[in-house]
Amino acid sequence: MKNKTKVSIVAAILISVITFGSVVAVNHFDNDTELGYSVTGVKLVDDYEDWTRKS
């Protein structure tokens, strides 16, 4: 059971890192493509833009 828990935690971390990375890439390279918004989701892109304005 412990190994499965570790694997799921690692998988969750990887998914979040990949998702955040794709948001950064979409935001950086092409802000207005429909593809970028459909891949990452409008909410994630908007959250990232809000976060960059604050920092």
Count: domains in the chain: 1
pLDDT value of residue 9: 87
- Domain around 36: 17-54
- Per-residue pLDDT tens over the stretch 10-31: 888 888 888 877 776 666 555 5
Residue 12 domain-assigned (yes or no) = no
Measured between alpha carbons, how far is 26 from 55 in angstroms, rounded to an integer? 19
Q: DSSP 3-state assignment of 37?
A: helix
Measured between alpha carbons, how far is 31 from 48 in angstroms, rounded to an integer? 12
For residue 41, count other CB atoms closer than 10 A to its CB: 14
DSSP for residue 31: T
Residue 6 domain-assigned (yes or no) = no
pLDDT value of residue 36: 47
Residue 1 domain-assigned (yes or no) = no
Ramachandran angles phi, psi of 41, nearest 5°: 90, 135
